[in-house]
Amino acid sequence: MNTPIRTALAIALLGATALTQAQSAAPLVRSERVLSLELANQIATATVAACSANGHAVTAVVVDRAGNLRALQRADNAGPHTLEASRLKAYTSASARNTTLAMMEAAQKNPAAANLKDIPGFLLLGGGVPVRAGNEVIGAVGVGGAPGGHLDEQCAMAALEQVKAALQ
């Protein structure tokens, strides 16, 4: 075997060894923060209260990081459609780790992002907001029923502001 081939082979083996060592340094079991039922209920209650204070009858759904339902509050007089809309907004936000309003705007402006609407379970309407503990998304809140997704989002943001100390 000539010298350039041996050198290339040696470099490839060293690179593979370094990659294997780097991968084995990553933990095989991870720890994640979990959204408690108590906090999920606080967020849902604060969201409905924030919208009610502005005269909007809404439903608020809080999901965990996987999009599974943790809490649901439906205001008196909130329409029946708000149940599913708020759940889908929360699921979409938790899944994408972004607000649904930002996703909707991106889909309207960017043809490549327009296909997001075709993902099963995604609802690209304002009102879904991630719940973050530090930089980690641990769930999301979805709101439906105010006369505009931007207003739904404002209620969710107001609720998250109320519980921000618990999310540190």
- How far is residue 83's CA from residue 59's CA, in Å, rounded to a whole number? 6
- Asked if the structure places residue 6 within a domain, the reply is no
| Exposed/middle/buried for residue 163 (C-beta within 10 Å: 0-12, 13-18, 19+) | middle
- Asked if the structure places residue 84 within a domain, the reply is yes
- Asked if the structure places residue 137 within a domain, the reply is yes
Residues 6 or more apart whose Cβ sits within 8 Å of residue 9: 1
Find out whether 137 and 88 touch, Cβ atoms under 8 Å: no
- Asked if the structure places residue 43 within a domain, the reply is yes
Task: List the CATH number of the domain containing 101.
Answer: 3.30.450.150
- Asked if the structure places residue 134 within a domain, the reply is yes
pLDDT by 10s per residue, the chain, length 168: 565 555 555 565 555 555 555 556 788 998 899 999 999 999 999 999 999 999 999 999 999 999 999 999 999 999 999 999 999 999 999 999 999 999 999 999 999 999 999 999 999 999 999 999 999 999 999 999 999 999 999 999 999 999 999 998
- How far is residue 94's CA from residue 77's CA, in Å, rounded to a whole number? 27
Count of domains for the chain: 1
Q: Look up the domain containing 121 and give its range.
A: 37-167
pTM exceeds 0.85 for this model = no
**Given the structure tokens 């809309």, which residue do they identify?**
85
- Asked if the structure places residue 77 within a domain, the reply is yes
- Asked if the structure places residue 94 within a domain, the reply is yes
Separate counts of helices (H) and strands (E) for the chain = 5, 4
- Asked if the structure places residue 32 within a domain, the reply is no
As a dihedral over the C-alpha atoms of residue 19, residue 24, residue 25, residue 31, rounded to 10 degrees, the angle is: 130
How confident is the model at residue 24, as a pLDDT? 62
Buried b (16+ CB within 10 A) or exposed e, 4-23: eeeeeeeeeeeeeeeeeeee
